[in-house]
C-alpha cells in the first residue's frame, strides 16, 4: 500500500483587491486543518486594500510567499509580515496615479473635474503630462517612474482579467473593433462605426476598442447604447456632431460626450483599452470599463488577446494595418481551436487604397486561419458573420469576387 500523502499544492496566485475578498480567503486559510496549508498566505497578491482593521487576523496568518501592494497596514504588522517573508511594496511618492489600483478606470474618473475646469486639469491629462516629462528625470526619479508604471500596468492587467473572468465583462465573448482615430463626429464613417458597435451589442457581444477617439469612440458609443433603439443612437450622434473632433479643443469635445452620458446615464458594459503613450489622443467616455496602460505594446497585445469573439477592422491607416497583421501573426501560428475571426470592412480600402487583404489572404492559404478571414463592405454583414461563427457555423474565406 502506498503511504505517500496526497499532494495539496499551494495556489499559484490569489488576487485580492477588496476587504471582502481578504476576509473570505483569510477565513478559509484559518479553517484549514492541513498544517502545510493552514493559516498560509502563500501566493496571495493583496492590492490596494486597507488592512488597518485586520491586524489581529494578519497576526495569525503566515506571510511567507505573499505580496502586498499599496495596502494600508499598521507599522508593527508590516514589520512582522516582512520578517515572515512577505514582499511589501511601499508607497512611491510624487505620482499623479495609484500604481497599485484595484479597479479599472471609468470615464468619470479620468475626466473628473471637467465640469469646472479645462481638460488639462483632469486626471487623464495630468497623468499624461507626468509620463511625458519623466523621460528627462534624474536616475532616481526615472527608476521610480519605471517601477511605478510597470506596477500600474500589471495591476490594470489583473483587474481586466478579473472582469473578463467573473466580472461585468464575463457574460459574453469580446469582439474587437479596430479603426482610425481620425474619423470625425458627424461623418459617415463615424456613423457606420457607431452602428456597428450598436449591432454587435444587440447581438450579445461585448464590444472592445482601443478606447480612443474617432472610430473607437463611435464603436464604444454604439455599444453603450446597445439596449436603446436606433432613434436614441441617432439623437446621440446629432449631439456629438456639434463638436466634431478633439482638435483644437479636447475640453469642448469631451464636454459634448459628457452631455450624452448625462442624458443616457446607464449603458451596456463595453471595454476601452487606451494608452498614455498616445496621450495627445484623449480616451473616450463611452467605454464603461477602461483599461488604460502606459506601455502601448502591452495594450495592443492585451486588446487582441482578449477579443476571443473576433476582430472587425474598419478603414484606418498605419495603426490599423499594424493591428491587422499583429492579429494575423497570432492566428497564423495558432492551433485550430485558438483562431480568432478577422473581418475587414471596406473592400476598396483594404484591396486598393491599403491592400492588406490580398496579403492576408495569401498568408492564410492552407493554414487553420483560412476559414476565419473575411472582407465585406457592409458592417451589418460583419455582425452576421461573427454571430454565425460564434454559434458554430462555418464559413469559407470570403475572397474578392
In the prediction, which pLDDT does 140 show?
56
Look at residue 316 and tell me if it is in a domain: yes
Per the listing, cell 452631455 goes with: 259
The answer on 368 and 267 residing in a single domain is: yes
- Return d(Cα 321, Cα 346) in angstroms, integer: 13
Residues 187 and 71 in one domain: no
Cell numbers describing residue 217:
469612440
Least confident of 135-139, 186-190, 191-195: 135-139
Q: What mean pLDDT do residues 365-380 have?
A: 96
In this prediction, residues 357-365 reach a mean pLDDT of: 97
| 268 & 381 share domain | yes
pLDDT digits (tens, 9 = 90+) for 23-50: 999 999 999 988 788 899 999 999 989 9
Pair 78, 161 in one domain: no
With respect to residue 179, please indicate whether it lies within any of the assigned structural domains: yes
Q: Is the pLDDT of residue 393 over 90?
A: no
Cβ-in-10-Å burial (0-12, 13-18, 19+) of 294 comes to: buried
Q: How confident is the prediction for the chain on average, in pLDDT? A: 91
Mean pLDDT of 106-123: 97
384 lies in some domain: yes
The size of the chain, in residues, is 401
Q: What is the pLDDT of residue 3?
A: 42
Do 185 and 292 have their domain in common?
A: yes
Q: Give the C-alpha separation, 138 to 156, whole Å.
A: 27
Final residue of a structural domain among 72, 89, 106: 89
**Last residue in a domain, options 48, 63, 89:** 89
Are 278 and 353 contained in the same domain? yes
Same domain, 346 and 242: yes
Task: Give the residue-averaged pLDDT of 117-124.
Answer: 98
Together in a domain, 43 and 168: no
pLDDT digits (tens, 9 = 90+) for 153-181: 999 999 999 999 999 999 999 999 999 89
Mean predicted confidence (pLDDT) in 225-245: 97
User: Please, which contacts does 250-254 make with residues 24 or more away whose CB atoms are closer than 8 Å?
Assistant: 250/119, 250/125, 250/282, 251/114, 251/118, 251/119, 251/120, 253/213, 253/282, 254/111, 254/114, 254/119, 254/282, 254/285
Residue 386 lies in a domain: yes
pLDDT score for 163: 96
Do residue 326 and residue 231 come from a single domain?
Answer: yes
For a pLDDT cut of 70, what percent of the chain falls above it?
Answer: 93
What's the predicted TM-score (pTM) here? 0.89
Looking at the domain assignment, is residue 133 inside a domain? no
Do 69 and 48 form a contact (C-beta atoms < 8 A)?
Answer: yes
| Other Cβ atoms within 10 Å of 355 Cβ, number | 11
pLDDT over threshold 90, residue 391? no
Show the domain range for 81: 14-89
Enumerate the β-bridge partners of residue 289: 271
- Both 194 and 297 in one domain: the answer is yes
**Which residue, 89, 112, 131, sits at the end of a domain?**
89
Q: Which residues of 195-217 are buried (b: 16+ CB within 10 A; e: fewer)?
A: bbbbbbbbbebbbbbbbbbbbbb
Specify the number of domains making up the chain. 2
pLDDT tens for each residue of 47-89: 989 999 999 999 999 999 999 999 999 999 999 999 999 999 9
Domain CATH number, residue 229: 3.40.50.450
The average pLDDT across 101-117 equals 96
Domain assignment present for 318: yes
- Same domain, yes or no: 65 and 178: no
The pLDDT, as a whole number, for residue 1 is: 40
User: Same domain for 347 and 248?
Assistant: yes
Percent of the chain clearing pLDDT 90 (strictly above): 83
In a domain, 59, yes or no: yes
Q: Is residue 142 part of a domain?
A: no
267-313, pLDDT tens digit by residue?
A: 999 999 999 999 889 999 999 999 999 999 999 999 999 999 999 99
Amino acid at each position: 500500500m502506498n503511504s505517500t500523502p496526497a499532494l495539496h499544492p499551494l495556489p499559484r496566485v490569489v488576487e485580492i483587491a477588496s476587504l471582502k475578498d481578504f476576509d473570505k480567503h483569510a477565513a478559509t486559510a484559518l479553517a484549514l486543518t492541513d498544517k502545510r496549508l493552514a493559516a498560509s498566505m502563500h501566493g496571495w497578491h493583496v492590492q490596494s486594500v486597507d488592512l488597518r482593521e485586520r491586524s489581529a487576523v494578519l497576526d495569525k496568518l503566515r506571510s511567507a510567499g505573499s505580496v502586498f501592494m499599496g495596502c494600508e497596514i499598521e507599522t508593527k504588522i508590516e514589520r512582522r509580515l516582512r520578517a515572515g517573508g512577505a514582499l511589501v511594496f511601499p508607497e512611491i511618492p510624487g505620482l499623479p496615479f495609484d500604481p497599485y489600483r484595484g479597479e479599472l478606470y471609468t470615464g468619470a474618473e479620468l475626466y473628473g473635474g471637467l465640469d469646472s475646469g479645462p481638460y488639462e486639469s483632469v486626471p487623464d491629462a495630468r497623468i499624461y503630462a507626468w509620463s511625458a516629462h519623466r523621460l528627462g528625470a534624474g536616475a532616481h526619479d526615472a527608476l521610480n517612474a519605471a517601477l511605478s508604471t510597470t506596477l500600474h500596468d500589471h495591476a490594470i492587467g489583473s483587474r481586466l482579467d478579473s472582469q473578463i473572468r467573473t466580472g461585468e465583462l464575463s457574460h459574453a465573448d469580446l469582439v474587437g473593433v479596430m479603426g482610425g482615430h481620425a474619423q470625425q463626429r458627424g461623418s459617415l464613417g463615424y456613423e457606420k462605426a457607431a452602428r456597428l458597435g450598436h449591432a454587435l451589442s444587440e447581438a450579445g457581444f461585448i464590444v472592445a476598442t482601443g478606447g480612443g477617439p474617432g472610430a473607437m469612440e463611435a464603436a464604444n458609443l454604439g455599444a453603450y447604447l446597445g439596449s436603446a433603439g436606433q432613434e436614441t443612437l441617432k439623437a446621440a450622434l446629432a449631439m456629438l456632431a456639434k463638436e466634431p473632433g478633439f482638435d483644437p479643443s479636447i475640453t469642448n469635445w469631451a464636454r459634448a460626450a459628457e452631455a450624452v452620458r448625462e442624458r443616457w446615464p446607464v449603458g451596456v458594459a463595453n471595454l476601452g483599452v487606451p494608452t498614455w503613450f498616445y496621450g495627445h489622443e484623449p480616451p473616450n467616455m463611452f467605454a464603461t470599463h477602461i483599461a488604460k496602460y502606459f506601455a502601448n505594446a502591452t495594450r495592443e497585445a492585451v486588446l487582441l488577446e482578449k477579443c476571443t469573439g473576433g476582430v472587425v477592422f474598419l478603414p484606418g491607416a498605419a495603426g490599423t494595418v499594424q493591428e491587422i497583421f499583429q492579429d494575423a501573426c497570432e492566428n497564423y501560428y495558432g492551433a485550430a481551436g485558438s483562431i480568432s475571426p478577422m473581418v475587414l470592412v471596406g473592400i476598396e480600402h483594404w484591396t486598393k487604397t491599403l491592400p492588406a487583404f490580398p496579403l492576408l489572404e495569401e498568408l492564410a492559404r492552407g493554414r487553420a486561419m483560412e476559414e476565419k478571414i473575411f472582407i465585406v463592405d457592409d458592417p451589418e454583414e460583419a455582425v452576421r458573420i461573427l454571430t454565425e461563427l460564434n454559434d458554430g457555423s462555418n464559413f469559407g474565406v470570403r475572397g474578392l469576387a
